[in-house]
Amino acid sequence: MGAVQTAGMRPDVCLDKIVRSVAGSGWVNLKIGSQPAARKVEVENSPANRTDKIRSTTYVGCDGKTTWSMVFSFDEKEKARFDPLATTVAQSVKIKR
């Protein structure tokens, strides 16, 4: 979690800045805790074994005051088991003041 550097920024503008600052495409916009968020999934070769694949799902969000991000990484073979869990955890994010 981090503080927004520009006071009074609209949440959607804040999210757009976050997504643009993180390299690459493939971001899907969504809402988490009624605030703008985005999700990106990448599958890469495992550094330990080039034939295994690692799935990384990144979530980012902003409510105009606070930014947040989280990354879930797991073996691609376990996608059916862990992807729903990552989605459930990400959807549970709520910023409390």
65 contacts 6 by C-beta, under 8 angstroms: no
pLDDT at 50: 75
Q: Please, where are the H alpha helices in the chain?
A: 11-21, 79-91
Distances (CA, A) of 35 to 12, 68, 75, 77, 91: 8, 11, 29, 31, 11
Please indicate whether residue 39 or residue 6 has the higher confidence score (pLDDT).
Answer: 39
* Structural domains of the chain sorted by starting position, each given as residue range(s) with its CATH number in brackets: 2-91 (3.10.450)
Instruction: With 0.85 as the threshold, say if the pTM is over it.
Output: yes
pLDDT at 1: 66
Alpha carbons 45 and 61: distance in angstroms, whole number: 27
Model confidence pLDDT, tens digit, residues 13-62: 999 988 988 877 899 999 998 899 999 999 999 888 777 899 999 999 99
Model confidence pLDDT, tens digit, residues 55-78: 999 999 998 888 899 999 999 999
